[in-house]
Amino acid sequence: MKSLVSLALAGFVAAGAPAAVAGERYVQRPPVVLSPDLSAPWVMQLGGNAAPRGGVVYQQPQRVKRTQAAYQIRPTRRDGVVLPSQVRRPAPAAYAAPKPQAKQQATPQIDPRYLPQDVAYDSQEKPGTIIIDTNTRHLYFVLGNGKARRYGVGVGKPGFEWAGTHKITQKREWPSWTPPKEMIERVRLNEGRILPTHMEGGPANPLGARAMYLGSTLYRIHGTNQPWTIGQAVSSGCIRMRNEDVMDLYERAEVGAKVIVS
């Protein structure tokens, strides 16, 4: 067997065949490509920017975020004068909306001491009697058993104070107002305002939501369209209350009730 192989090989060489080995049958050897281990640390560090393609890992180019740069306006001539260069920068994309300012109260608030409350009050008067202390600006509705319902009131301004005892002769809801002629003239001369000769009842009426008339006088216990004046001496002699307070008193007091003003 060995002799036969030797003879064949000797014949092949003798025939002029090339003496190249198997590894030399290519003119240029192909490149050796190594498929990386995707779990290797250096591959893992590439993150999402690396992806195997054909056994080779390629690094993806990173996008560079472009920002709008400032631009420069070239000097221009105006009336033969060269203006200096100006640099403008782009305005911000959006501005924060200014915070709305808190609304200021249109009118002052009433002093808490003039808000209605039940208080201890010793009096010899029977329940249902109304006692008005013009000095402290309080009205007391006697409840009995040493207690009274107390309200804040506005009283007559200087020159219009008065004191006395009367009875409630009538009660009106949303009363109309007919100012006396002397009041119309006085306000016109002293304040420059022209009062109406008559005004129907309503929220704008100075007598407010309720009125209780005292005897045969022009004085009343009534509401007001100016609640911030409670606790002050501002009226022409009437006793004014907040509308919500005079409505509460209106339900408690009866026609014929005694009213003491001191």
> What DSSP letter does each residue of 102-131 carry, written as one string?
PPPPSSPPPPGGGS-EEEE---SSPTT-EE
Residue 238 annotated as catalytic? yes
Domains and CATH numbers, the chain: 112-261 (2.40.440.10)
Residue 138 annotated as catalytic? no
Indicate which residue of 138, 166, 198, 238 is catalytic: 238
Residues 223/207, Cβ–Cβ less than 8 Å: yes
Residue 88 confidence (pLDDT): 53
Residue 247 confidence (pLDDT): 98
DSSP-derived 3-state class of residue 17: coil
Residues 180/217, Cβ–Cβ less than 8 Å: no
Residue 191 confidence (pLDDT): 87
Question: Can you name the residues that pair with 220 across neighbouring β-strands?
Answer: 213
Would you say residue 121 has pLDDT above 70?
A: yes
DSSP-derived 3-state class of residue 250: helix
Q: Which of 13-27, 122-136, 171-185 has the lowest mean pLDDT?
A: 13-27
Tell me the pLDDT band of 64, cut-offs 50, 70 and 90: low
**CA dist 39 → 34, 35, 36, 141, 244 (Å):** 14, 12, 9, 92, 82
DSSP-derived 3-state class of residue 55: coil
Tell me the pLDDT band of 132, cut-offs 50, 70 and 90: very high
> What DSSP letter does each residue of 136-159 carry, written as one string?
TTEEEEEEETTEEEEEE-BEEPTT
Question: Can you name the residues that pair with 148 across neighbouring β-strands?
Answer: 119, 142
Tell me the pLDDT band of 109, cut-offs 50, 70 and 90: confident
| Nearest one of 89, 229, 217 to 153, comparing CA atoms | 229
**Distance (Å, rounded) from C-alpha 161 to C-alpha 235?**
9
Indicate which residue of 138, 166, 198, 222 is catalytic: 222
More confident position, 133 or 79: 133
**Distance (Å, rounded) from C-alpha 251 to C-alpha 161?**
27
